[in-house]
Amino acid sequence: MTTWLNMSLQDGASPIMEQLIFFHDHVLMIMLMITTTVSYMMITLIRNKQTSRFMLEGQMIETTWTIAPAIILVFIAMPSLRLLYLMDEVHNPSLTLKAVGHQWYWSYEYSDFTKLEFDSYMIPQEEQQESTFRLLDTDNRIVLPMNSPIRMIVTAADVLHSWTIPSLGVKTDATPGRLNQTSFSISRPGILYGQCSEICGANHSFMPITIESVPAKYFINWVSKMSE
Q: Tell me: do 105 and 218 sit in the same domain.
A: yes
Q: Tell me: do 110 and 183 sit in the same domain.
A: yes
161-200 confidence digits (pLDDT tens): 999 999 999 999 999 999 999 999 999 999 999 999 888 8
83-97 confidence digits (pLDDT tens): 988 888 877 888 999
pLDDT category at 128 given cuts 50, 70, 90 is confident
Q: How many CB atoms lie within 10 A of CB 185?
A: 19
The answer to whether residue 172 is domain-embedded is yes
* Contact between 179 and 154 (Cβ < 8 Å): yes
Please tell me the total count of domains within the chain: 2
Cα separation, 60 vs 73, in Å, equals 20
Domain that includes residue 36, residue range? 15-48+56-88
* CATH value at residue 143: 2.60.40.420
The answer to whether residue 8 is domain-embedded is no
Mean pLDDT to the nearest integer, 195-208:
88
Last residue of a domain, one of 69, 88, 107: 88
* Contact between 113 and 223 (Cβ < 8 Å): yes
The answer to whether residue 2 is domain-embedded is no
Residue among 120, 159, 165 nearest 139 (CA): 120
117 Cβ contact partners less than 8 Å away, ≥ 6 residues apart? 107, 108, 109, 110
* Contact between 107 and 204 (Cβ < 8 Å): no
Q: Tell me: do 69 and 124 sit in the same domain.
A: no
Q: How many CB atoms lie within 10 A of CB 209?
A: 23
Chain-centroid distance, C-alpha 78? 20
Size (the chain), residues: 228
Mean pLDDT to the nearest integer, 212-219:
91
The answer to whether residue 154 is domain-embedded is yes
Give the pLDDT score at 1.
66
The answer to whether residue 4 is domain-embedded is no
Long-range contacts of 190-194 (CB under 8 A, 24+ apart): 190/13, 191/141, 192/1, 192/13, 192/165, 192/167, 192/168, 193/1, 193/133, 193/136, 193/137, 193/165, 193/167, 194/163, 194/164, 194/165, 194/166, 194/168, 194/170
The answer to whether residue 1 is domain-embedded is no
